[in-house]
Structure 1
Amino acid sequence: MANHQNETFQNIPQKGFFGHPRGLFTLFFTEFWERFSYYGMRAILIYYLYTQVKNGGLGFEETTANSIMAVYGSLVYMSGIIGGWIADRLLGTARTVFYGGIFIMLGHIMLSFPGSVPAFFISMFLIIIGTGLLKPNVSSVVGDLYSPEDNRRDSGFSIFYMGINLGGFVAPIIVGTVGQTYNYHLGFSLAAIGMFFGLVTYVLTKKKSLGSAGQKVPNPLSVAERKRVFFIFGISILVIAAIGAVSILTGKMTINLFTMIVSCLGIIIPCIYFIIMFVSSKTTSDERSRLIAYIPLFIASMMFWAIQEQGANILATYADKRTNLEFLGFELQSSWFQSLNPLFIVLLAPVFAWLWMRLGKRQPSTPTKFSLGLMLAGLSFIVMIFPAYINGTDSLANPMWLVLSFFIVVLGELCLSPVGLSATTKLAPAAFSAQTMSLWFLSNASAQAINAQIVRFYNENSEISYFGIIGGVSILLGILLFMLSPKIQKFMKGVK
């Protein structure tokens, strides 16, 4: 293993991108363009779903459109489990990233042509699979560029993270403007072109910059295992396709039933993960204690993402229907508000990194940071009560209310998201380290799966109660978590 690692690092150019390995350039721009395509598409997707057919949309009811957005987001995060398995057992991370990009581009190309509802769902399937293949594995390749002892590693991931957020910031402004000003399909075509640029960058530069990074299959299937897995996989696909086709043709598989199935899976899958790890003979008693400590953090994460991810559906709808888009003499596009989250992260992430370093041992514990994140998320929804409370729902709200809401939730995200990644690596049982990281990302999938049911309750008449109840529950959970923090810290068995 050590010899393989040494060979890998020897054939990777270790300089060439701001003092980092040259391969970071390849992965930075591959991920920049992938996020450009994803966030560009997502910025206008909700509007495409509920805009009337005669005006270029698909004509879904707003509540159904919001549920579809939540289910889509949930399945994107669930598919990362498949992508990780394929990279570990079949292709290696580098090739899996490439095929993921192909699937994503094909999905956006299908969206770029005027089509039917079935064509839309096929495009969503392609993008879900493609993102599951690419997203978790491109980060793994970044890690492969550095030796474990390389002190540039954290800095490299920070630069890579900037690429993600720069793509997320630029995309809604460009794709959103084109999609809302001209037509949605032209906007989706820009998302497809963005992914194409990412693939071209990846293919043309990876040979000279990545070396053998991501080429090795860590735990390859044996010939016998391949035959068995492909047989089971093939049969499963045929059975699922047959059941799906019969259900759709007979009218039994409705959008509402499908969203309910995904919502149930969002709860069942994490529970199975926890049970398997907890009862495993490979898990020590201290690790079981840490898993118990991880459960309230996981629930807190679900609550947080349930609010944060509504920026792409409920708050996007609010921007389109309830917000005055004339501001200081400028005509705003409702899709532009999707740029606020990555913009605030780029501006504030260095501040939080400095703050935690400055506080050192005096910084809040992990459960306390989570509780702060929950309370800030709840507050971001509470502020959305005021426009309707002050002026009613008949008048359009000042856009600064939305800006304030996005700003507050990003403060919460920076308390919870990077801290959660770090805590997951520390609390994970040694035998399940990779799967526990998958479990962390499942907290987002579970949140959006539950959102698929919750968002149905939103409309202009329920606006105050909707934002108030969800925001209030999040704040109360944050207070409860804060009170339980010392107890949770004990279960963490020395992990800070």
Structure 2
Amino acid sequence: MSINVPKGEFLGHPKGLFLLFTTEMWERFSYYGMRAILVLTMVAGTEANNPGFGWTNAEALKLYGWYTGLVYLTPLFGGWLADNYLGQRKSIIIGGILMALAQFTLAAAVPGNIDLFYVGLAILIVGNGFFKPNISTMVGDLYKEGDNRRDGAFTIFYMGINVGAMIAPLVCSTLGESPSFGWKFGYIAAGVGMALSVVIQVFLAPRYLGNLGIEPAAKISLQQSAGEKKPLSKEERDRLRVIWVLFVFVVLFWASFEQAGGLMTIYANDKTDRMIDFLSFEVPTGWFQVLNPLYIVLLAPIFAAMWVKLGARNPNTPIKMMFGLILTSIGFMFMVAAVYDQQANGLASMWWLVLAYMFHTMGELCISPVGLSLVTKLAPLRLASLMMGVWFLINFFANLIAGYIGAYASTLGELAIFGGIAATNLGFALLLWPLSGILVDWMHGAESYKEKPTVKEELETASNVA
């Protein structure tokens, strides 16, 4: 069976990209909406006007680390099931339905029913395993090997992720942090967003994606090899080795970046001056979660255009990631400055967080979307979703580490944590630089970009396939 994607483009990309963009946008609305209020729900007092569970900061950050870690462990299994049995499209629907049900379960558990709350988190973890690796793999499948639009496509797709993430705190935090509504309504809003994602995928995918993602990738690969199961070639093994080496560096990035939902959220809540005096308005803590996706929406089109414009002069992925680690390090230096400001004046200025999030976002754009794109370039077809699950396994380790790093702030202090993260990112960036040449050799030309094929070339390819 050959993959048949409907013809037609929008903004120079297949229309299916924008369907996947919208599907992922609402799923990320759901995820980031609940993420913005999760720690705040746990630390809110049981007798407060908006009651939560009354946990300590350290306890809440450890739960946050385990939850956000396990969310990225299950894609390993979801990717394997999709590759071998379910296909990507069916896996996305199953995952979406489970996550919508999970958000409504969390809403029913607040306040007071911690056991039901755990059940909701567990269902979210399972649902994300089905959803997350498969939709990202489908983005890569829209493009032929060597198409220099692929990095740009993942950056556009990434912008969809962050449109959802930008809207989410404005809705879920505004409802959840308000005593008039309460945490319950924040989780309900997240559930509605997830339900919209499922509806869009069910009704519009046949029109814009054709048969993409219906058959399991392992079945398609077997058909293409005339029914013969072949072992991995040396070239394929080398390419997989690149993914595993970069795994280490990207774990560090995400462990740093994920302080946004934990330690940086608590720092914004407890030690930052959130008052806008001329408006007599205090910015809700959850609104700081809007900064990263807002910057993504503003900067992603610039980065996407830049990768396409550079063409054959495009920096290789390891070099892009090196720059990402350096930018992340600079962002945490602004958090170091925030600590000094807070120690001198009682509360830190909001502008330190605004600047930190900006540099973290630029670092993210050099690492995350190009990393997703790289996996689709390097992974063999029969392992495509499984290897995307492996890539998301990065976030399992990173989020778990992030939660424990944040928890140590209560004993080591924010200055040591933020300064240590800045120094470590810079050190790993300098280590990645000399390794980049070796990694490019192991890619065996996977990043040798070609110009977009002409109509004539596409017709000739279609004729040969037929």
CA distance in 2 between counterparts of 1:364 and 1:342 reads 24
- Give the C-alpha shift of residue 409 in structure 1: 1.0
CA distance in 2 between counterparts of 1:425 and 1:144 reads 8
One of 388, 393, 400 as aligned partner of 1:442: 393
CA distance in 1 between counterparts of 2:350 and 2:11 reads 38
Structure 1 stretch displaced more, 29-38 or 307-316: 29-38
Q: Deviations over 1:189-239 (max 9, x none)?
A: 11112222333334444566555443334447xxxxxxxxxxxxxxxxxxx
Q: Deviations over 1:397-449 (max 9, x none)?
A: 11111111111111111222233234334444677554433322222222112
Residue 173 of structure 1 aligns with an amino acid whose one-letter code is L
Residues 356 and 102 from structure 1, CA distance in 2 versus in 1: closer, same or farther, beyond 3 angstroms? closer
Report the equivalent of 1:418.
Answer: 369
Conservation of the 8 A alpha-carbon contact between 2:172 and 2:187: yes
- Give the C-alpha shift of residue 344 in structure 1: 1.0
Give structure 2 stretches of 5+ with no counterpart: 220-229, 448-466
Report the equivalent of 2:267.
Answer: 318
Q: Does the alignment pair 1:369 with 2:320?
A: yes
One of 296, 304, 328 as aligned partner of 1:353: 304
Q: Does the alignment pair 1:40 with 2:33?
A: yes
CA distance in 2 between counterparts of 1:156 and 1:416 reads 14
- Give the C-alpha shift of residue 332 in structure 1: 0.8
Q: How does 1:58-457 map to 2 (within 5 A)?
A: 58-113=53-108, 114=110, 115-141=112-138, 160-182=157-179, 183-206=182-205, 212-219=211-218, 282-327=231-276, 329=279, 330-392=281-343, 395-428=346-379, 432-457=383-408
CA distance in 2 between counterparts of 1:50 and 1:411 reads 31
Aligned to 1:77, the other structure's residue is in SS state coil
Aligned to 2:74, the other structure's residue is in SS state helix
TM-score normalised over the length of structure 2: 0.81
- Give the C-alpha shift of residue 61 in structure 1: 1.3
TM-score normalised over the length of structure 1: 0.77
CA distance in 1 between counterparts of 2:18 and 2:436 reads 41
Aligned residues: 429
**Structure 1 vs Structure 2: percent identity of aligned residues?**
39
Q: Deviations over 1:351-379 (max 9, x none)?
A: 22333444455454433222221122122
- Give the C-alpha shift of residue 59 in structure 1: 1.4
Structure 1 stretch displaced more, 125-134 or 434-443: 434-443
Aligned to 1:67, the other structure's residue is in SS state helix
Residues 424 and 35 from structure 1, CA distance in 2 versus in 1: closer, same or farther, beyond 3 angstroms? closer
Residue 302 of structure 2 aligns with an amino acid whose one-letter code is V
Conservation of the 8 A alpha-carbon contact between 1:31 and 1:198: yes
Q: Deviations over 1:89-124 (max 9, x none)?
A: 333322222221221111111111224211111000
Residue 33 of structure 2 aligns with an amino acid whose one-letter code is G
CA distance in 2 between counterparts of 1:431 and 1:92 reads 11
One of 24, 30, 43 as aligned partner of 2:23: 30
Aligned to 2:128, the other structure's residue is in SS state helix
- Give the C-alpha shift of residue 461 in structure 1: 6.2
CA distance in 2 between counterparts of 1:302 and 1:17 reads 34
Structure 1 stretch displaced more, 159-168 or 73-82: 159-168
Conservation of the 8 A alpha-carbon contact between 1:393 and 1:461: no
CA distance in 1 between counterparts of 2:236 and 2:70 reads 29
Residue 89 of structure 1 aligns with an amino acid whose one-letter code is N
Q: How does 1:462-477 map to 2 (within 5 A)?
A: 462-477=413-428
- Give the C-alpha shift of residue 460 in structure 1: 8.1
Structure 1 stretch displaced more, 195-204 or 343-352: 195-204
Conservation of the 8 A alpha-carbon contact between 2:155 and 2:370: no
Conservation of the 8 A alpha-carbon contact between 2:34 and 2:190: yes
Residue 62 of structure 2 aligns with an amino acid whose one-letter code is S
CA distance in 1 between counterparts of 2:394 and 2:435 reads 20
CA distance in 1 between counterparts of 2:368 and 2:411 reads 31
Residue 126 of structure 1 aligns with an amino acid whose one-letter code is I
One of 27, 43, 65 as aligned partner of 1:50: 43
Residues 411 and 17 from structure 1, CA distance in 2 versus in 1: closer, same or farther, beyond 3 angstroms? closer
